[in-house]
Amino acid sequence: MRWIGSVRDRGITSEIRIGTPGPAGIKRLLGFARRFGIGANAMIVKKYGFSLTNLMGTAGPDKFVTDLSGLLAQDPRSGDVRLHFYTFGGLLATAQWAGEYVAAQS
């Protein structure tokens, strides 16, 4: 939100797109991280651990999207802000997640 505010403070009113990963398996996300040279950081290890059971799970952007939406609603000067999903878990899974998320918010 600080970054969005600084963009708006400079007089930029264009649409802002915030990128976030769509839903994907934890094992797959760690595979992408390893491939791109990003090690598993302490937060990921703390949150998911390295057990086989946790690696079978799925991580989604629910909390991030909900929190961002609430913050944007509180700050009308944030302007037009939209999401861009990185479809690490696949386009269909991301589209289904988005449809279910929107339906749950109604």
Regarding whether 54 and 65 lie in a shared domain, the answer is: no
Identify the residue whose tokens are 């264009």: 14
CA pair distance 69, 31, nearest whole angstrom: 29
Give the DSSP H or E segment for 65: helix 62-74
The total of other beta-carbon atoms located within 10 Å of residue 44's CB is 17
Q: What global pTM score does this model have?
A: 0.71
pLDDT digits (tens, 9 = 90+) for 12-55: 999 999 998 888 877 777 777 777 776 555 555 555 554 444 44
- In a shared domain, residues 64 and 103: yes
CA-to-CA separations, 52 to 27, 49, 68, in angstroms, rounded: 9, 9, 31
- Which tokens is 5 given? 């505010």
106 and 64 fall within a common domain: yes
Identify whether residues 18 and 69 lie together within a single domain. yes
Plot region of 44 (φ>0 → left; ψ -120 to 50 → alpha; else → beta): alpha
Say whether both 14 and 29 belong to one domain. Answer: no
The answer to whether residues 84 and 42 belong to one domain is: no
pLDDT at 18: 95
Tokens of 37: 């040279």
Host domain of residue 72? 1-23+60-106
